[in-house]
Amino acid sequence: MQEPFVHINKLTIQYNHKKVLDNLSWSINKGENYLLGGESGSGKTTLAQAIVGDEIMEQTIKISYTQHSLLPAKAIYISNWYQFTNLEGDRNFYYQQRYNKHQGQDTLTVQAELEHYGQKENLDLKDIEQRIKDFGFESTRATQLIELSSGEHKKLQLIKGLWAKPQLLIIDEPYTGLDKQSRITLNNWLDDLVQEGVQLILISNDQQLPRAINRFAHIVNGQLEQVDNRNQLTRNAPREKMRLPDFLLASPPTPYKVVAKLQNIYIRYGDKEVLKDVSWEVKVGEKWLLQGPNGSGKSTLLSLINGDHPQSYGLDIYLFDQKRGTGESIWDIKEKIGIISPEMHWYFDQTATVWHTIASGFYDSIGWFVDVKFEEKKKIEELLAFFGLTEFKDHLLQSLPLGKQRLALLARTIVKNPPLLVLDEPCQGLDAEQTKYFNDVVDELAQHGKTLIYVGHYESLLPSCIEHRIVLEKGQVKAIEDILENVE
């Protein structure tokens, strides 16, 4: 009988006295390419990290590599989050730093990062030149790592891992942050790698998968269970609909007619134009969808509205009926905006508890630095209950499953009941049930005087309240249109 390619025998892992994996066993044979799905927080990421880790004893996890294969005898794990360092090997960045060009020289360029990785892994960059172009990543080569959007960081992760062609490739949430065409390109590349002998484990609840996926499993009560197809994978139970806290039912004051007006905006980093002649007006109460491929300029456009971009001074920008740079402070702007983005999540204070994370929304900080008032404490507790986070309020944000982290940050976004919600891919890391739950919340909030700017790639996973769409492509406005009847 052929020896399994991966054999796990009674693996137990626990955190804080709670067993995440409980005597888990799993055998993967050659040619079996798995989708590992199931509920958020069930232990999928923990299992993946254990398979590629160096700390597990051989009798617990054994990978039987093919010794005479042209592919390297190694396993590579591509995490959900991309972690990069500055030139001194440190991660001490701050959120607005990615927009400050003079401070962006602290990290490698994409080209230098690829060259460094290729040298380390003995790889030839020429082998993936076409893949880089197919991924729409060619134009980023001279870009500093800190300047990349979350979708571009994901592409860089994937390019490096797939370039190495390991015998075992494990990808955690491979499609997070990728636009529609990039997901198709990725699946085609993965299918090609399987033909060359790479074996896959994908951690995902996505519906668009490589053709090569032929096995399905999930983790239930710390044990791995195999199922016949992805429809049998466990899902988080639909969340019970709850009434919004009373303070969110009150419409915030809006003594202005226009939330944002941008006219003929150009943003350049050296010779690179990020935004080219962009004009856009958002009136009070409007609900907008902002779309475009990865790297099209969406994050930069939003940074002009939320006050984070240093080039916004001197441009023809009006925020809340006041021209930018005519005496308003950054805090005058931020007090009117509730924002969430993948980049904010990435830079968020690693020492913050869930409670402190939500509290920081009152002060627009990436963390929590002051005491909150009694009424503010009451609102925090109401949101903890509303999002089902009360039992986790004293846990570190980063210790929670990614889905719960996002819910905590969503609570932070609305805790001060702002008139403008800027939701940049707010449901990254949430499964379909959690996404529907949150978008239902957005629809309810929209009924109470909110203006909305929502960034999302999936047409079928959007709030129903959206009325208008602006589409960017290569830094330019490709379309502005009404979509009230087109959104499903």
Cα end-to-end distance, the chain, whole Å: 51
Distance CA 371, CA 394 (A): 16
The per-residue pLDDT for range 194-219, each reduced to its tens digit, is: 999 999 999 998 888 999 999 999 99
For residue 13, which of 224, 225, 222, 226 has the smallest C-alpha distance? 222
Q: With contact defined as beta carbons under 8 Å apart, do 364 and 329 qualify?
A: no
* Percentage of the chain exceeding pLDDT 90: 61
Q: With contact defined as beta carbons under 8 Å apart, do 163 and 123 qualify?
A: yes
The type of residue at 40 is S
Q: What local confidence, expressed as pLDDT, does residue 94 receive?
A: 43
Query: Which stretches within 361-431 are classed as H helix?
Result: 374-386, 402-414
* Cβ count within 10 A of residue 477: 19
Asked whether residue 466 carries a pLDDT value surpassing 80, the answer given is: yes
Q: What local confidence, expressed as pLDDT, does residue 345 receive?
A: 85
Domains of the chain: 6-232 (3.40.50.300), 246-482 (3.40.50.300)
Write out the E strands in 155-195.
168-172
* Cβ count within 10 A of residue 52: 17
Write the CA distances from 52 to 47, 68, 425, integer angstroms: 9, 21, 30
Query: How far is Cα of residue 327 from the mean position of the Cα atoms in its chain?
Result: 35
Residue owning tokens 């990614």: 402
Q: What local confidence, expressed as pLDDT, does residue 211 receive?
A: 97
For residue 411, which of 400, 152, 204 has the smallest C-alpha distance? 400
Q: Given CA atoms 21, 25, 28, 32 in this order, what sign does their dihedral have? A: negative
Interior CA angle at 354 toward 457 and 220, to 5°?
A: 70
Phi and psi torsions of 215, nearest 5°: -140, 150
DSSP string, 131-157: HHHHTT-GGGTTSBGGG--HHHHHHHH
Specify which residues 260 forms β-bridges with.
282, 319
Residue owning tokens 């800027």: 422
- Which one has a higher pLDDT value, 428 or 159? 159
The per-residue pLDDT for range 230-266, each reduced to its tens digit, is: 889 988 777 778 889 999 999 999 999 999 999 999 9
Among 52-56, 66-70, 282-286, the range of highest mean pLDDT: 282-286
The pTM score is 0.85
Among 48-62, 226-240, 292-306, the range of highest mean pLDDT: 292-306
